[in-house]
């Protein structure tokens, strides 16, 4: 058999293996009822946020002082805030900021954590030691405290807040990717690839990244839930989204003005945050159950 034939045969085997893994994952995931429910909920929230101008019954910035603190009814389904703004519309538009913020934070964490994790896991030695030391140092600091410190150096706004959250979460992704890279590094086919002159970049792209995707996907789902919660906390303190724009954290913070008289003003944004974070975590658990068996088998 020629080298070309061998390469074509290996490609065919890898393709068949990938298809088999995908089929097994889908079969297992279909049995995860709670995870499917969480995914449907998140899709509905995302679609509502994308099409907010058409879904929301009112302009979220439109004020009507005569309707200040109006209760739920036919005009305002979830009531109105102190400026007479429709709570439901603000929640729908607020989902845009909360989900966008979560995506920004996870993107920053992925860009920082994944490449460094792959490099550290494959290179080992001093590079691995230094990267692991930095990651442990960041993980030793409470996430919100570190995020607030980073925001203090920059300036309060949504982008800076999410950069801070991404930096805080990057070491977690680094650990997952590094562990997977070390596991792949010890395989005999990696030694064979090195012996045949294949570069580290090619090894990372063709062998490490595909094996890292499964645990990474689970961590990204969990990270999105963490980012939604962190953004809500930072915006609640006034260091994230700035009024008149509103994320769920901003709406929650503004609802505390008349907490005893109008508890519904914090109930609805609080429920939105709770259900979304819970959905991301349930989805992560479902992915872990569906992918984890494949990982353990390999």
| Residue 140 confidence (pLDDT) | 84
**pLDDT confidence tier of residue 298, bands split at 50, 70 and 90:** very low
Angle between helices 87-123 and 209-236 (to 10 degrees): 140
Q: Work out the pLDDT band at 38, boundaries 50, 70, 90.
A: very high
Q: Give the chain's mean pLDDT.
A: 81
Instruction: Tell me which DSSP letter residue 86 carries.
Output: B
pLDDT tens digits, residue range 130-176? Answer: 999 999 888 888 777 877 787 778 777 778 888 888 888 899 999 98
Confidence of residue 30 (pLDDT cuts 50, 70, 90): confident
Any residues with CB less than 8 A from the CB of 104 and at least 6 apart, and which? Answer: 158, 159, 162, 163, 166
Percent of the chain with pLDDT over 70: 89
Residues 10 and 73 in one domain: no
- Omega before 265 within 30 of 0, i.e. cis: no
Same domain membership, residue 88 and residue 19: no
Residues 21 and 121 in one domain: no
- Whether the per-residue pLDDT at 92 is higher than 90: the answer is yes
| Residue 47: pLDDT over 90 | yes
The whole-number pLDDT of residue 292 equals: 58
Residue 18 shares a structural domain with residue 148: no
Residues 237-285: pLDDT tens digits? 888 887 778 889 888 888 887 766 777 788 889 999 999 999 999 998 8
The confidence band for 51, taking pLDDT boundaries of 50, 70 and 90, is very high
Q: What is the dihedral of CA 64, 70, 75, 76, to 10 degrees?
A: 100
CA distance 91 to 198: 52
One domain, residues 2 and 66: no
Contact 280, 42 (CB under 8 A): yes
Q: Is the pLDDT of residue 18 over 60?
A: no
User: Greater confidence, 147 or 8?
Assistant: 147
Q: How far apart are CA 143 and CA 96, in angstroms?
A: 23
Per-residue confidence (pLDDT) for residue 230, from 0 to 100: 87
Taking the C-alpha atoms of residue 187 and residue 193, their distance in angstroms, rounded to an integer, is 10
65 and 181 co-located in one domain: yes
Query: Domain of 14?
Result: 1-31
Number of domains in the chain: 2
Could you tell me the CA-to-CA distances from 238 to 64, 68, 112, 167, 266 in Å, in that order?
24, 22, 26, 20, 16
- pLDDT of 39 > 50? The answer is yes
Q: Does residue 115 surpass a pLDDT of 50?
A: yes
State pLDDT tens for residues 233-243.
888 888 888 77
For residue 184, give the CATH number of its domain.
Answer: 1.10.3720.10
| Pair 165, 43 in one domain | yes
Residue 84 has pLDDT above 90, yes or no: no
Q: Do residues 27 and 59 share a domain? A: no
Q: What is the DSSP string of 63-79?
A: --GGGTTPPSSSSSTT-
pLDDT at 216: 86
**What integer is the mean pLDDT of 99-128?**
89
* pLDDT tens digits, 55-71: 988 888 888 878 887 87
Pair (91, 6) in one structural domain: no
3-state secondary structure of 242: coil
DSSP structure class, residue 258 = G
Rounded Cα distance between 26 and 30, Å, is 6
Q: Answer whether residue 11 shows pLDDT above 50.
A: no
Strand partners, 40: none
Q: 222 and 80 share a domain?
A: yes
Helix (H, G, I), strand (E, B) or coil at 298: coil
Q: Name the CA dihedral angle for 83, 85, 88, 90, rounded to a multiple of 10 degrees.
A: -90
pLDDT value, residue 297: 42
* pLDDT at residue 287 is higher than 50: yes
Neighbours of 39 (CB within 10 A): 19
Question: CA nearest 221: which of 277, 268, 144, 164?
Answer: 277
Indicate if 11 and 100 belong to the same structural domain.
no
152 contacts: CB under 8 Å, gap ≥ 6:
none
Residue 44 — very low, low, confident or very high, per pLDDT cuts 50/70/90? very high
Res 111 pLDDT > 90: yes
Q: Are 167 and 146 in contact (CB under 8 A)?
A: yes
Cβ neighbours around 105 below 10 Å, total: 28
27/160 same-domain check: no
State the average pLDDT over residues 44-50. Answer: 94
The predicted structure's pLDDT at residue 182: 84
């Amino acid at each position: 058999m020629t080298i070309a034939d061998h390469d074509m045969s290996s490609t065919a085997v890898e393709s068949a293996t990938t298809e088999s893994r995908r089929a097994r994952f889908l079969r297992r995931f279909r049995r995860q009822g709670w995870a499917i429910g969480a995914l449907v909920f998140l899709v509905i929230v995302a679609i509502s946020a994308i099409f907010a101008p058409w879904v929301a019954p009112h302009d979220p910035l439109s004020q009507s002082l005569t309707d200040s603190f109006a209760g739920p009814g036919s005009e305002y389904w979830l009531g109105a805030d102190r400026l007479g703004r429709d709570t439901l519309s603000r929640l729908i538009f607020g989902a845009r900021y909360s989900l966008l913020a979560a995506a920004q934070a996870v993107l920053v964490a992925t860009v920082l954590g994944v490449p460094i994790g792959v490099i550290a896991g494959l290179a080992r030695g001093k590079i691995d030691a230094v990267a692991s030391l930095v990651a442990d140092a960041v993980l030793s600091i409470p996430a919100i405290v570190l995020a607030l410190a980073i925001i203090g150096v920059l300036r309060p706004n949504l982008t800076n807040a999410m950069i801070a959250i991404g930096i805080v979460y990057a070491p977690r992704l680094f650990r997952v990717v590094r562990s997977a890279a070390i596991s792949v590094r010890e395989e005999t086919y990696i030694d064979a690839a090195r012996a045949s002159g294949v570069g580290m970049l090619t090894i990372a792209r063709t062998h490490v990244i595909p094996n890292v995707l499964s645990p990474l996907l689970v961590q990204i789902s969990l990270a999105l839930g963490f980012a939604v919660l962190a953004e809500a906390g930072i915006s609640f303190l006034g260091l994230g989204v700035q009024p008149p724009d509103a994320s769920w954290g901003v709406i929650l913070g503004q609802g505390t003005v008349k907490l005893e008289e109008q508890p519904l003003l914090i109930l609805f944004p609080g429920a939105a945050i709770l259900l979304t974070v819970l959905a991301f975590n349930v989805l992560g658990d479902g992915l872990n159950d569906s992918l984890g068996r494949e990982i353990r088998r390999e």
